[in-house]
Amino acid sequence: MIILGIETSCDETAAAVIEAKKDKIKVDILSNVIATSMSLHTKTGGIIPEVAAREQIKYLIPVIDEALKKSKLSKDKIDAIAVTVGPGLIGSLLVGVETARTLSYIWQKPLIPVNHLYGHIYANWIRNQSNGEIKFPAICLVVSGGHTDLVLMLNHEKIKWLGGTIDDAAGEAFDKIGRLLNLPYPAGPIIESISNKANVDIYDFPRPIINSNNFDFSFSGLKSAVMREVEKIKHNNLSENDIKNISFSTQNAIIDVLIQKTLKACRRYNATSLLLGGGVSANQALRKKLELEIGNQKLEIALFVPEKQLCTDNAAMIATAAFFNYEEVSWQKVEANPELYFD
């Protein structure tokens, strides 16, 4: 089966073509095209929704065109169209959803609405050389700019939300703290690379609700603690050394909380697989420390992390989620839903 995926929930304009073979274990990417308006948002220090949507209107058709060209398939070979319907920015979602509805009607192809959060989880079902078959039960940590959620997956049909952030998402914490440190948006990858130059956790920032008896997260207290520290230093101006040390301590605090809660969920539900997804899972320090902790705690669990470019928003993950949860909906009924969440 060949699926064309479309993703426009935030600032990316993405289209991809995937092929699902009969084994139904993993899917293959035939093309994966992403245009981003990030340079515009870097200038403003964050995403301005209307700017993002206007760029998406300009680029979506050329991006779909390129995805088809790169797949070397004509539109006639497409079996279905998958589109992100939420959660996300309403203007951005509408661009993708209305385009997908139109193509479904004109090309007479089935349309499958996809929850963006499921997309991040299903990025793990895209084949690469190192990842094998995913066995259930699986715990999934979706950790991005908008979300920090722990989910239990018993099979493709049974997915249960265990907990999530009660304030800022982990990626949002990276980005907001980056702003305090005068780093460009998005700050997550920059904080990671700056942290690589440090090795002592000088500040030992708070790890909010790390020991709470649930699977919720909170990062706004961490942001306030960093703000207080930055205000103290500001009189003498932040030096490169301060930025390096604060970055490292911030990353450590975020990673510690994510790992402690995630492994608690793995133990509680006897998970055999642990899946990461979302922009923050591109963070190598998170992966390494997680692998180390799995070993330390002698957990028999296989860790899956998508390839770096599949951790952040893309359309291949949307097409993959559609394949494993193939529910066709008439184009007249498919709607953007910015508030969509886990069921």
* Residues of this chain that bind ligand KG4 (CB under 6 A): 10, 144-146, 171, 174-175, 186-189, 192, 278-280, 282-283, 312-313
Residue 174, contacted partner among Zn ion, ligand KG4, none, CB below 5-8 A by kind: ligand KG4
Q: Are 136 and 25 in contact (CB under 8 A)?
A: no
State phi, psi for 28 to the nearest 5 degrees. Answer: -115, 145
Q: Which residue has the tokens 């998406």?
A: 56
Please, what is the minimum distance in Å from the beta carbon of residue 215 to ligand KG4?
20
Neighbours of 225 (CB within 10 A): 19
Number of residues that bind Zn ion (CB under 5 A): 2
The C-alpha angle 124, 125, 126, rounded to 5 degrees, equals 90
Please, what is the minimum distance in Å from the beta carbon of residue 42 to ligand KG4?
12
- Ramachandran category for residue 272: left, alpha or beta (phi over 0 → left; psi -120 to 50 → alpha): alpha
Q: Is 16 or 80 the residue whose CB approaches ligand KG4 more closely?
A: 16
Residue 283, contacted partner among Zn ion, ligand KG4, none, CB below 5-8 A by kind: ligand KG4
Residue 282, contacted partner among Zn ion, ligand KG4, none, CB below 5-8 A by kind: ligand KG4
Return the residues of window 295-324 that contact Zn ion according to CB under 5 A. 313
Return the residues of window 120-149 that contact Zn ion according to CB under 5 A. 144
Interface with Zn ion includes 11 (CB under 5 A)? no
Please, what is the minimum distance in Å from the beta carbon of residue 107 to ligand KG4?
28
Q: Are 78 and 107 in contact (CB under 8 A)?
A: yes
Please, what is the minimum distance in Å from the beta carbon of residue 143 to ligand KG4?
8
Q: Is 71 or 144 the residue whose CB approaches Zn ion more closely?
A: 144
Residue 7, contacted partner among Zn ion, ligand KG4, none, CB below 5-8 A by kind: none
Nearest to 34 by CA among 319, 320, 315: 315
Please, what is the minimum distance in Å from the beta carbon of residue 141 to ligand KG4?
12
Q: Is 144 or 165 the residue whose CB approaches Zn ion more closely?
A: 144
Question: How far is Cα 189 from Cα 177, in angstroms, rounded to an integer?
Answer: 12
Q: Is 189 or 206 the residue whose CB approaches Zn ion more closely?
A: 189
Q: Is 41 or 264 the residue whose CB approaches ligand KG4 more closely?
A: 41
The b-or-e profile of 36-75 (16+ CB within 10 A means b, else e) is: bbbeebeeeeebbeebbbbbbbebbeebbeebbebbebee
Please, what is the minimum distance in Å from the beta carbon of residue 258 to ligand KG4?
10
On the 0-12 / 13-18 / 19+ scale of CB atoms within 10 A, 270 is exposed
Per-residue CA distances from 93 to 53, 54, 88, 194, 244 (Å): 8, 12, 6, 33, 37
Please, what is the minimum distance in Å from the beta carbon of residue 300 to ligand KG4?
28
| Strand duo 2-7 + 148-153: pairing | unpaired
Binding mask of the shown chain, residues 239 to 278, with x at each position contacting Zn ion by CB under 5 A: ----------------------------------------
Please, what is the minimum distance in Å from the beta carbon of residue 104 to ligand KG4?
24
Q: How many angstroms separate the most distant Cα atoms in the chain? A: 65
Q: Which residue has the tokens 């990626």?
A: 171
Write out the residues near Zn ion by the rule CB under 5 A: 144, 313
